[in-house]
């Protein structure tokens, strides 16, 4: 879709009790500003709520990636921006809208961009974590599920066996195929995936308002950037778990980040130098560095959408600096 073509996101009722803007407003009034600057909106796939009755007049909700103009037909390194993987995480999509001019200016300083601002519009519209489940960390199906493309075990002679034999949904199959295809053109150098997490209400976790994030890449790059991002989060008022174990006890935290997790996410897929198709290992470009920034949604002491979005706006402002570090490393 070029800048000259009409862009009109469908009208759909959007949950707004936390102050989030509607899907239509975000896309038509904010994200579409990129099209005037020569970006294009590439439809990845769409989501449609399953009908509980014989007729369901709700329109399918497209998932768009916004691609900055290419100045060469050759593949080039790019910054990938991802948000809205989980529907209750409304601050990042709203932060992107507020910083759309900042994002629009990135190609002007030599940073090609792939931006997926809302990867789960159905969940966003309903305040559901997943398209098919309101909440439940390990029960719903995420748009970014990538286990069907990743090896079951990190053993060479078994690496052709995927963790799952098929994608968890048609949408995740479409999404991961698009990522693999577009990754050959806009080769991910740096990926920043913006997330939020609701605080676990279980009182057995006394540190449930202490956060840690996730990162992928070489130790050299992560040793530089992870402490820096943790310090930014700390200055914005978050309590950071700098070192130790995650709440589950299964992963190690260093400098506020779990490093190179095998979690079946789109982040792990982007970080991988290979994937599996039809029980064959296929080499691919691996992102140099990925940072999955986690902030919190505090239901007991709720913050406004503006307060929650402010930290993500802060991170957006650091994109050029992060890009410089990763590119030079």
pLDDT at position 4: 47
What pLDDT shows up at residue 183? 98
Kindly give the pairing relationship between strand 243-245 and strand 280-283.
unpaired
Distance of CA 303 to the CA centre of its chain: 22
Q: How far is CA 92 from the centre of its chain?
A: 9
pLDDT at 206 over 70: no
pLDDT in the model for residue 189 = 98
222 within 8 A of 289, measured Cβ to Cβ: yes
Confirm whether 155 is domain-assigned.
yes
In a domain, 18, yes or no: no
What is the mean predicted confidence (pLDDT) over 240-258?
93
Which pTM value belongs to this model? Answer: 0.94
76-85, 87-96, 237-246, range with the lowest pLDDT? 237-246
* Mean pLDDT along residues 287-304: 90
How distant is the alpha carbon of residue 113 from its chain centre? 14
Q: Are 132 and 124 in contact (CB under 8 A)?
A: no
Answer yes or no: is 30 within a domain.
yes
Asked, for residue 241, whether it belongs to a domain, the answer is: yes
Q: pLDDT tier at 203 (50, 70, 90 boundaries)?
A: low
| Average confidence score pLDDT of the chain | 92
Mean pLDDT over residues 26-40, rounded?
97
Q: Which residue has the higher pLDDT, 197 or 176?
A: 176
What's the longest Cα–Cα distance across the chain? 57
> Per the domain annotation, does 13 fall within a domain?
no
In a domain, 32, yes or no: yes
Q: What local confidence, expressed as pLDDT, does residue 3 receive? A: 43
**Judging by beta carbons within 10 Å of its beta carbon (0-12, 13-18, 19+), is residue 318 exposed, middle or buried?**
middle
Q: Which domain holds residue 203?
A: 23-48+58-328
Q: What is the mean pLDDT of residues 186-211?
A: 84
Average pLDDT rounded to a whole number, residues 291-304: 87
Alpha-carbon distance 82 to 290, whole Å? 11
User: Which CATH number does the domain housing residue 67 bear?
Assistant: 3.40.630.10
* pLDDT, tens digit, 9 for 90 and up, residues 152-161: 987 777 889 9
The answer to whether residue 9 sits within a structural domain is: no
Q: Nearest-CA neighbor of 116 among 42, 25, 59?
A: 42
If you average pLDDT over residues 168-172, what whole number do you get?
96
Look up residue 142 and give its DSSP letter. -
Domain assignment present for residue 235? The answer is yes
Query: How many domains does one find in the chain?
Result: 1
Query: What percent of the chain has pLDDT above 70?
Result: 94
Q: Which two tokens stand for residue 221?
A: 């790059």
């Amino acid at each position: 879709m070029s800048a000259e073509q009409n862009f009109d996101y469908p009208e759909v009722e959007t949950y707004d009790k936390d102050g989030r803007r509607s899907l239509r407003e975000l896309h038509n009034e904010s994200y579409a500003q990129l099209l005037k600057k020569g970006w294009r909106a590439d439809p990845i796939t769409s989501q449609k709520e399953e009908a509980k009755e014989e007729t369901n007049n709700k329109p399918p909700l497209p998932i768009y990636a916004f691609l900055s103009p290419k100045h060469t037909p050759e593949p080039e390194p790019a910054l990938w921006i991802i948000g809205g993987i989980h529907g209750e995480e409304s601050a990042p999509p709203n932060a992107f809208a507020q910083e759309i001019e900042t994002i629009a200016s990135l190609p002007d300083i030599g940073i090609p961009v792939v931006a997926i601002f809302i990867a789960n519009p159905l969940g966003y519209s309903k305040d559901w974590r997943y398209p098919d489940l309101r909440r439940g960390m390990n029960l719903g199906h995420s748009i970014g599920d990538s286990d069907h493309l990743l090896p079951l075990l990190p053993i060479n002679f078994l690496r052709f066996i995927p963790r799952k034999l098929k994608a968890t949904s048609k949408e995740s199959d479409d999404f991961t195929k698009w990522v693999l295809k577009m990754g050959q053109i806009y080769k991910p150098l740096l990926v920043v995936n913006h997330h939020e997490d609701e605080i676990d209400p279980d009182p057995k976790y006394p540190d449930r308002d202490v956060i840690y994030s996730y990162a992928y890449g070489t130790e050299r790059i992560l040793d530089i950037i992870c402490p820096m991002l943790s310090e930014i989060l700390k200055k914005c008022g978050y309590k950071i778990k700098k070192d130790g174990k995650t709440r589950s006890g299964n992963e190690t935290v260093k400098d506020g980040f779990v490093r190179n997790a095998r979690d079946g996410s789109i982040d792990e897929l982007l970080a991988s130098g290979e994937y599996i198709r039809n029980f064959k290992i296929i080499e691919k470009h691996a992102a140099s560095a990925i940072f999955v920034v986690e902030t919190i949604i505090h239901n007991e002491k709720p913050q406004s959408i503006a307060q929650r979005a402010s930290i993500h706006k802060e991170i957006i402002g650091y994109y050029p600096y992060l890009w410089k570090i990763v590119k030079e490393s």
